[in-house]
Structure 1
Amino acid sequence: MIVALILDAGAFLAVERGDRNVVALLKQELLLRRPPVTHGGVVGQVWRGGARQVRLAQLLRATRVAPLDDDLGRKAGTVLGRARQADVVDAALVSIAADGDLLLTSDPHDLRALAAAAGVHVDVAPV
């Protein structure tokens, strides 16, 4: 059972391009009243505004978006130091995850390494 479905930018872009597998997983989670989770940095990576992003706008309305604030930034920075990586958006994504969560990502290799550095036991699925 998925505790929470955590989305990176690649997952949002998969929905925007109509990826049936990703859309089906999201529908299933929403039917179970488990909204997907992301943070504001990911939103900044994918949102450009305008009528072409209808699918993305719908998904964002259903998504719990954590603020990328000082606390999350410090957690992400600590993870980056341990992992010797530099992508704060990915590190913040791992920092909002909990054991048992599923991270849906276009960058599974980096997110697995960051999760290991953070000591969080998550499943990482590629999109």
Structure 2
Amino acid sequence: MNIPYLYDAGALIAIDNNDRRMWARHHLALEDGRDIHIPAVVVSQAWRDSRRQVRLGKFLTGCRIEPVRLETAEAAGILCGKARTSDVVDATVAVMAAGLGAIIWTSDPDDIHALIDAQDTKPAPVIRTV
């Protein structure tokens, strides 16, 4: 069984910028049979112009774009309160990753670590830097 990956906006921005390391990580994940999850709100953070972001659009078709359901939204809001932050998108990433048992790929490891610590989930999601 492969542990799924969950990408935050930093991973999507890296893909959009044609970052070779991120592309390599992604291809290896697919070769390993990992599921790739992206919260829909993360797409909102990274998406700006369909005409300019053709590469990102194609990339997203191979990922599982996850809707944010009421339970996740509530948990992310509670987590923001516990962590004393207002970044609901990062909180959503932390909540979804904990629920999936996923490895988080992020460009903001400090912010995600603070949320994971406040979440106090065992086992805590693993964080990797883009």
TM score, norm. by length of structure 2: 0.88
Alignment of 1:24-103 (within 5 A): 24-98=24-98, 101-103=102-104
Match of 1:123 in 2: 126
Q: Is 1:2–1:101's contact at 8 Å kept on the other side of the alignment?
A: no
Q: Letter of the 1:27 partner, please give it.
A: H
Q: How far apart are 1:51 and its partner, in Å?
A: 3.0
Q: Letter of the 1:119 partner, please give it.
A: D
Gaps of 5+ in 1: none
Q: Letter of the 2:38 partner, please give it.
A: T
Q: Letter of the 1:109 partner, please give it.
A: D
Q: Is 1:6–1:37's contact at 8 Å kept on the other side of the alignment?
A: yes
TM score, norm. by length of structure 1: 0.90
- What CA distance in whole angstroms lies between the structure 2 residues aligned with 1:18 and 1:90? 23
- Supply the RMSD in Å over aligned alpha carbons: 1.8
Q: Give CA deviations for 1:27-78 in whole Å, capped at 9, x if unaligned.
A: 1111222231111111111123423212211221111111123111101011
- What CA distance in whole angstroms lies between the structure 2 residues aligned with 1:5 and 1:65? 12
Structure 1 outlier segments of 4+, above 3 Å: none
- What CA distance in whole angstroms lies between the structure 1 residues aligned with 2:92 and 2:26? 21
Helix, strand or coil for the counterpart of 1:94? helix
Helix, strand or coil for the counterpart of 2:52? helix
- What CA distance in whole angstroms lies between the structure 1 residues aligned with 2:90 and 2:71? 15
